[in-house]
Structure 1
Amino acid sequence: MTKRIGVLTSGGDCAGLNAAIRAITHHATETYGWQVIGIRKGTTGLINRPLEYQDLTVGFCDSALLRSGGTTLGSTNKDNPFSFPNPDGTRTDRSQDFIEGYNQLKLDALIGIGGDGSQHILRRLAEHDGINLVAIPKTIDNDLGHTEAAIGYHTAVEVATEALDRLQPTAASHQRVMVLEVMGRDAGHIALSAGVAGGADVILIPEIPYTLEHICNKITSLAKKGRTFALVIVAEAVKKENGEIATLTKDEGRPRYGGIGQYLGEKIQKITGAETRVTTLGHVQRGGQPCAWDRIIASAFGVSAVDLIAAGKFDRMVAWQNRQVVDVPIADAIARYQAVERSDIMIKTAQGLGIYVGEL
C-alpha cells in the first residue's frame, strides 16, 4: 500500500525549514512513491476542525522553496495540545483532538521538525496513541543534545557575523564601542561563533560569568594600543553583573530575554567614557534566506528521516555527527541540554585571539 506521511514544523521559525520540507517531499514521492501531507500551523493543524493541511508535491516543493526562509507550512510555539489556549483565556487538553486528526488523515507516520520543546510534546503525543514519529532537529540556539548542528543555527550565526561586519566600519569612523545583542536563549553558541568570526573584542555568554571591570579593562587596553573602536557581542540570556535577568517583557509567565545589551552599553560608557551604541538583532536572525550549510543540513536530514520511516525506525531523531547523519532516540536528544562548555574549542580559539570571554 502507498504510505501517507505527514510533516509539520513546530516552535519558532528559522531559515532552512523549507529545505527540509522539500527534501522530505522529493525523497518520499520520487524514491518510495508515497504521499506527503503537510500539516499547517504545527500541531494546531491537526487540532483545529476542519483539519488544516495540504498535499505536498514535487511541483510545489521546487528549488524556489529551497531558497526561501521561514516555513511554508506555518508554525506555532504557543498552542501546546496538552494545554491549548481558549479564547476566554482558559486552557484545555486537546491532545485527543490531535490524535484523532492524525487518524482522520490516515497517516502512517509523522515527521516533526522542531526544537527540544516541540519534540518533547510530539513524543508525548506519540506515546499516547502509537503515532509513528520521526524527528528533525531545528533550533537557532543549537542546544539540542546529540547533534552537532540543528537547522537554522548556521544562518543565525551568519546574520550575527554580518552585523559585526557592518558595525565595525561605523565604529571605527566615530571612535565608538559597539554592543551587539544576539539571540540564543540560554545557550551562547551564536554569540561565541559569531564573535570569533566577526572579530569581536568581548564575547559574553550565559555559561561563563564576567565582570564589568574586566570588560572595561579590555576596551581601555585597546585604546592604549591605538585602537579607536571596540566590538562587544552578548547573548540575550546573559545576566547583569549582580545576577539579575535583563528582561523587557514576559511571555505567558516566562521571561522574554532582551535588554542586556542596553544595560552593558550604559555601563561601559559610564565607566570608560567611550561613546557606546547598542544594536539588538532579535528576529532578524530567524528570517531571510538560509545559508548554504543550513540548506545542506536540512536536505540531508529530510532524506534520512524518510529513510527511517521506510526502515520502520520510529521514536528517533536524525542528527549530525562526525560529518554524517545518524539517528538517536528522541528521549536522549531532549534529555541532554547542549550548552557551551568551558572546554569548547571555540572558547579556546577566542582566548587564543585575545578576546575577553569572561572569567575562566
Structure 2
Amino acid sequence: MQRIGVLTSGGDSPGMNAAIRAVVRKAIYHGLEVIGIRRGFTGFIEADMEPMRLGSVADIIHRGGTVLHTARSEEFKSPAGRARAWENVNRFGLQGLVVIGGDGSFQGAQAFYREYGLPVAGIPGTIDNDISGSDYSIGFDTAVNSAVDAINKIRDTATSHERTFIIEVMGRDTGFIALAAGLAGGAESILIPEQPFSIEDICDKLCRGYRRGKLHSIIVVAEGAAGGLEIGKQIKQRTGFDTKVTILGHLQRGGTPSAFDRILASRLGAKAVELLMSGATGKMVGIKAGRIVDSDLDKVIACKKTVDLDMFRLAGILSI
C-alpha cells in the first residue's frame, strides 16, 4: 500500500482534527502518501482532493471542527454517486480509505467497499456516542464537558433567581449526552429517549423539593426525548414555578477538544492506518476497557448501542 485517502463525514465533532493529524503523520512515518478529501463523500464524488504533508496537519490538534470540512451526501447513497467516487479513486491512485464519522458515514463506506473492494477503516467521530464497538466516540467527552460547563453557569442564575431551568442538549435518538451531563451536573431530572417519563412525576418531584426548602432545580432534556420549550411550558402551568428554558444546540459540537478526545483520536487514527497497512478492511477502530480494538463494520452498523440504565437509575437516586 502506497497511498490512502482520509475524509470526515456527517456532523463534526471535537477531536476530528486530532484524528486527521494522526492518520497523516502515522502514514507518512511508514512511507505512505495521504490524500485529504474535503467535504466528506461530497468531495469524494467531486474530486475535491489534495495531497497532505506533515505541515498540512501542523497546529491543528487543539482545534475543534475539521480542517477537511464535512458534509452529508445524498448522492453517495446512490450507485451512480459511488461510481463517480470510484473514478476519483483511480484518478488519485488510492489504495485505502479512512472514514471519520458516525453510523451513516460507515454505511456509505461499507457500501463502497462491497461494490469496489477498496479497503476502508472507520474511526467513530460523533458527539452522540451512539456507535457500537467502542466505549467512546471522538467528541463525546468534549460535548459532555461543554454541557456541564453550561449547567454550572445556569445553576448560578437558577440559584440567584430561585428558578427552575430546563436545559435541552443534543441527542435526537439517544440520551448519552443528557445522561452523562445530567449526572455530572447534579440535575434533578434527566429525560432521555430510551426511558418513558411522566410530566406529573417530574412536577411532583419539584414540588416535594420546594416544600423542603429547595428553591431552584435543573432538568436536563435530550432533544429526542421531548422539546425543552414544551416541557418548560407544562411545568410552569402545573406548578406555577418560574421556569426558563435553555437550548444548547450546536454549542456542544464546537470548542477545543478535551485532552481525553485528543488522545483517543490520536490512538484511533494511528490504529486505522495500521489496519490498512496490514491488509485488514471493512473495520472500525474503537476503545474497549481502555484498549484499542477493531470491529467489523457490518457488526457495528447492525448493532444498536444503548445507554447504561444502571447509571440512569443512579442519577435518579442521587437527585432525591
Same fold flag (TM > 0.5): yes
Instruction: Name the structure with the higher helix share.
Output: 2
- The answer to whether structure 1 residue 72 and structure 2 residue 67 are counterparts is yes
- The answer to whether structure 1 residue 106 and structure 2 residue 73 are counterparts is no
Q: Is the 8 A contact 1:203 1:232 kept in 2?
A: yes
Please list, as runs of the form range in 1=range in 2, the aligned pairs for 1:178-193 lying within 5 A after superposition: 178-193=165-180
Secondary structure of the 2:57 match is coil
- The answer to whether structure 1 residue 263 and structure 2 residue 230 are counterparts is yes
Alignment partner, residue 43 of structure 1: 41
Alpha-carbon offset, residue 204 of structure 1: 0.4
Alpha-carbon offset, residue 54 of structure 1: 2.0
Alignment partner, residue 55 of structure 2: 59
Distance 1:275 1:352 in 2: 25
For structure 1, the residue ranges without an aligned partner over 5 or more in a row are 84-91, 240-259, 356-360
Alignment partner, residue 339 of structure 1: 306
Aligned residue pairs, count: 320
- The answer to whether structure 1 residue 93 and structure 2 residue 80 are counterparts is yes
Secondary structure of the 1:269 match is helix
Secondary structure of the 1:277 match is strand
- The answer to whether structure 1 residue 168 and structure 2 residue 135 are counterparts is no
Question: What RMSD in Å do the two structures reach over aligned CA positions?
Answer: 1.3
Q: Is the 8 A contact 2:62 2:256 kept in 1?
A: yes
Any idea what the Cα deviations from partners look like across 1:55-96, whole Å, max 9, x if unmatched? 21112212x20011111001112434134xxxxxxxx83110
Q: Is the 8 A contact 1:80 1:121 kept in 2?
A: no
Alignment partner, residue 221 of structure 2: 234
Distance 1:13 1:80 in 2: 19
Alignment partner, residue 156 of structure 1: 143
Secondary structure of the 2:206 match is helix
Distance 2:306 2:147 in 1: 19
Partner amino acid, structure 1, of 2:214: R
Partner amino acid, structure 1, of 2:7: L
What TM-score does the superposition give when structure 1 sets the normalisation length? 0.86
Distance 2:266 2:74 in 1: 27
Distance 1:124 1:3 in 2: 23
What TM-score does the superposition give when structure 2 sets the normalisation length? 0.97
Distance 1:348 1:203 in 2: 10
Identity among equivalent positions (%) equals: 41
Q: Is the 8 A contact 1:114 1:136 kept in 2?
A: yes
For structure 2, the residue ranges without an aligned partner over 5 or more in a row are none
Q: Is the 8 A contact 1:43 1:79 kept in 2?
A: no
Secondary structure of the 1:65 match is coil
Alpha-carbon offset, residue 319 of structure 1: 1.0
Alpha-carbon offset, residue 341 of structure 1: 4.6
Deviation above 3 Å: which 4+ runs of structure 1? none
Partner amino acid, structure 2, of 1:9: T
Secondary structure of the 2:55 match is coil
Alpha-carbon offset, residue 351 of structure 1: 2.8
Distance 1:38 1:194 in 2: 34
Secondary structure of the 1:348 match is helix
Secondary structure of the 1:94 match is helix
Partner amino acid, structure 2, of 1:310: M
Partner amino acid, structure 2, of 1:140: I
- The answer to whether structure 1 residue 282 and structure 2 residue 280 are counterparts is no
Distance 2:80 2:192 in 1: 37
Any idea what the Cα deviations from partners look like across 1:244-267, whole Å, max 9, x if unmatched? xxxxxxxxxxxxxxxx00000001
